[in-house]
Structure 1
Amino acid sequence: MQHVRAGMPATAWSWLGEVSHTRMDIGQRAKGLLRSAGEHGLKAGLTVPLWTPGIHWAFMTLTTDATADLRELRSTLGPMNYFASCLHSTVRRLQGDRHVPRLSARQREVLHWVASGKSTWDISEILNISERTVYFHLDGAARKLDTQGRMATCARALALGLLHP
């Protein structure tokens, strides 16, 4: 929880006390808890911060007993971050989050290409606009959707039916 509340990104961790993408002080404080998790069969996992309108912080933790190798887990951080954001947005919609903001056609177009895995540079070339303009549309969509980050913005737009897979 300290990792998420400190505004840190998604992280991989193991029962050996290893934590990626965090501050040293948070990693040190987590060692005992992580070793205890290992004693209960949780060998490693990913913790993904989630942002929701009206909630200051939330997170999803995915665990495994298949590996404790952080290199293997770090390679799944991107896809799992996207998965957690999609699941979180879908659950909010199912619980009655009915506010559906209006995105401009260009914002939807940029998000479509982001969801397709294109980089900012790729999108600027495809749409014949500057990278700065791509960021402008991403920022605008994120502000309207009350999200932080490319993946969370795409996930929320998909969950709200503003994008189609």
Structure 2
Amino acid sequence: MEDLQSAIESIQKAELPENAFHEFRKIIRAYGYENAVFSLITDHPSIRQGAFHGLSTSYPEDWMKHYKQNSYHNFDPVFHRILLKPGAFFWSDAISSLERDSRFTSSLLDRSRSLMQEAADAGLADGIAVSIPNEWGEIAGIGISRPQRETDLDVRALADIQLLSAVLHERYMGCYRSWSPAPLTNREKEVLSWSAEGKSDWEIAEIIGISRATIRFHWNNIFKKLAVNNKTTATVHAIRRKLVVPDALRPFNPL
């Protein structure tokens, strides 16, 4: 990349986590990558957050749901490589690492290869991942992807992505520690709560008894207050920050 310093500064100037992630996404396009994901691979008590795959992501929503529903992290070669070794690596190297790991049976290796093919079919054919541990032993992972596999892998790009990911991680975590969202109204919390239960805008409007236009009005206010740009990210952030608590997460109190 011609002006790496300017790219770094654009991330460092971001005032909110999603802004930093947005700048990072713009930068990786210069390297031929389209999408990115920022995950907390392990629990992060330092920011009062548990492990969470896709805290910020532009990966296809259907793929993210499919990945989580099938607990793919259990045999995802990229996930395991992030846990084992800090630094940046090409996805293709992750499978090679598993093949040399005696703890992985042939059955698990087959499932790992199948997972990578499913990812390719979902438009995530090739990529780079970066494992970033902090001073408390917490591990974050950043991944970038492109829809086609490349045989000629650019090692210089790998070094740049590792540096840019470290900058994103530092800024993202710094923003997360200092960020204090504007308070949500009771109605906005109600919209988020129903969204967390999987309800559509039409269903929420019917349940609450207001128009869909009013629902959109509330979503726009929620986006501004939480500094996000879509409903999925807004709902995730609200749950992680305990601004809303879905029924499925409420403690059971027998009568």
Q: In 2 relative to 1, CA 102–124 (structure 1 residues): closer, same or farther, beyond 3 Å?
A: same
Gaps of 5+ in 2: 1-27, 37-56, 64-88, 97-111, 124-140, 142-168, 247-255
Partner of residue 101 from structure 1, selected from 182, 193, 205: 182
**Where does residue 194 of structure 2 map in the other structure?**
113
**Where does residue 59 of structure 2 map in the other structure?**
10
Distance (Å, rounded) in 2 between the aligned partners of 1:39 and 1:96: 34
Gaps of 5+ in 1: 13-35, 44-63, 75-83
Distance (Å, rounded) in 2 between the aligned partners of 1:10 and 1:148: 14
Note if contact 2:184-2:225 (Cα within 8 Å) is conserved in structure 1.
yes
1:36-47 superposed matches below 5 A: 37=90, 39-42=92-95
1:49-128 superposed matches below 5 A: 65-67=113-115, 68-70=117-119, 92=173, 96-128=177-209
Query: SS at 1:69's partner residue?
Result: helix
Deviation, 1:4, is 3.9
Residue 158 in structure 1 maps to residue 211 in structure 2? no
Give a deviation string over 1:80-99, Cα, whole Å, max 9, x none: xxxx9xxx9xx849962341
Could you tell me the TM-score, scaled by structure 2's length?
0.35
What letter corresponds to residue 149 of structure 1 in structure 2? Answer: N
Query: SS at 1:101's partner residue?
Result: coil
Note if contact 1:112-1:163 (Cα within 8 Å) is conserved in structure 2.
yes
Deviation, 1:108, is 0.4
**Where does residue 131 of structure 1 map in the other structure?**
212
Question: What is the RMSD computed on CA atoms of the aligned residues?
Answer: 3.6
Distance (Å, rounded) in 2 between the aligned partners of 1:97 and 1:155: 18
What letter corresponds to residue 193 of structure 2 in structure 1? Answer: H
Deviation, 1:69, is 2.6
Distance (Å, rounded) in 2 between the aligned partners of 1:111 and 1:128: 15
Deviation, 1:71, is 8.4
Deviation, 1:139, is 1.1
Partner of residue 148 from structure 1, selected from 218, 229, 239: 229
Query: SS at 1:10's partner residue?
Result: coil
Q: In 2 relative to 1, CA 133–93 (structure 1 residues): closer, same or farther, beyond 3 Å?
A: farther
Could you tell me the TM-score, scaled by structure 1's length?
0.51
Distance (Å, rounded) in 2 between the aligned partners of 1:71 and 1:126: 39
Distance (Å, rounded) in 2 between the aligned partners of 1:138 and 1:108: 10
Give a deviation string over 1:97-121, Cα, whole Å, max 9, x none: 3413200100000000111100010
What letter corresponds to residue 40 of structure 1 in structure 2? Answer: D
Note if contact 1:93-1:160 (Cα within 8 Å) is conserved in structure 2.
no
Aligned residue pairs total 106
